[in-house]
Amino acid sequence: MDQDRLSTLRLSVYRSEIDLDEPLYASVEPQLTEEVYLASLEAAVELLQEHTENASGQTRLLSRERKRAYLKAALTVMPPEAVSEKLHGHVDRLLQFERQSKAIANASDLVPASKRFGNRRIPAELVLWQGDITELAADAIVNAANNALLGCFQPFHACIDNAIHSAAGPRLREDCNRIMKLQGHSEPTGHAKITRAYHLPSAYVLHTVGPIVPAGSPVTERHRMLLANCYTSCLSLAAQIDSIRSIAFCAISTGVFGYPKAEAAELAVREVTNWLKQNPGRFDRIIYNAFSDEDRRIYESVLKQ
């Protein structure tokens, strides 16, 4: 069956299942010390060793950096049900400590593109920002997910899905797993789901599956329709959460999914602009996140036109 034609689960069905409206637990103290961090790292690695078949037990000889890499790789491949509450607690402390040292950008401080480029035709809400989306304090950020919606299971893979899940922690995958079990099938392309963001500086994560453009193949009208749906689905879903006033979009489908970057940027600006015209005043900031210099130059060109 064509996965893109399957129905998608409505927010009202899974909202309470993942406690979307509940404030995040205060599981650890506001400021953590390096001693607590190191103890949590040791404890987490030991727990993993206890539950790993044929574990050598030699991780205690590894450096701090190698232990952290070992933990990151292990969490990437672990199914959601395999992470115990005890391990969650250690990982919570690790991620909170690491977040303390990050330079977090605040969405409300970013300069609108209309002022930056001196172009009054650009909607006042649009912003171009270059940086790591996992270090942006927006109300919601967008994750370019795969259709399993459980994050990337390939350790150290340089995709945004992996980056977001690694920074948010394994509780994010648990929420996605609950949603997908309720839905009962893969996530259709062009739709969106929402979860809390856990250890990210944002409050929520919008997960959407973009279209795949095979290498050497032209972009079709169906590709364009599905990518447009990704943007409008995220906006319409976020609009159902009153507290969301700012959203940061990654460049959906332009990585391993193969959508040409320039065409994707033009579509992203057009679709968001049209949505804002139909829903004036709903959001304060819609941020296009450019990770690379190439991405930034492409969006600059589109916004200046």
Q: What domains appear along the chain, each with residue ranges and CATH number? A: 3-24+105-304 (3.40.220.10), 34-100 (no CATH)
Q: What is the pTM of this model?
A: 0.94
Assigned token pair, 143: 């994750």
Q: How far is CA 11 from the centre of its chain?
A: 18
Shortest CA distance to 268 belongs to which of 284, 243, 249, 285? Answer: 249
Q: Burial-class residue 125 by CB neighbours within 10 Å (0-12, 13-18, 19+).
A: buried
User: Given this model, what pLDDT does residue 1 score?
Assistant: 43
Shortest CA distance to 113 belongs to which of 232, 289, 243? Answer: 289
Angstrom CA distances, 38 to 7, 45, 161, stand at 46, 11, 27
Q: How far apart are CA 245 and CA 247, in angstroms?
A: 7
Q: How far apart are CA 45 and CA 48, in angstroms?
A: 5
pLDDT profile of the chain (305 residues), mean per 10: 65 97 71 90 92 58 90 96 95 94 95 94 97 98 97 94 97 98 96 97 98 95 98 98 98 95 98 98 98 97 92
User: Given this model, what pLDDT does residue 24 score?
Assistant: 83
To which residue do tokens 């920074």 refer? Answer: 167
H or E element at residue 93? helix 85-100
pLDDT tens digits, one per residue of 132-166: 999 999 999 999 999 999 999 999 999 999 999 99
Dihedral pair phi/psi, residue 106, rounded to 5°: -100, 130
Assigned token pair, 96: 């909170």
To the nearest 10 degrees (0 to 180), the angle between helices 34-50 and 64-77 is 50
Q: How far apart are CA 219 and CA 214, in angstroms?
A: 9
Dihedral pair phi/psi, residue 105, rounded to 5°: -90, 140
pLDDT tens digits, one per residue of 174-185: 999 999 999 999
- Other C-beta atoms closer than 10 Å to the C-beta of 291 total 17
Paired with 136 in beta bridges are 105
Collapsing DSSP states into helix, strand and coil, what is residue 92? helix
* Per-residue DSSP letter, 248: E
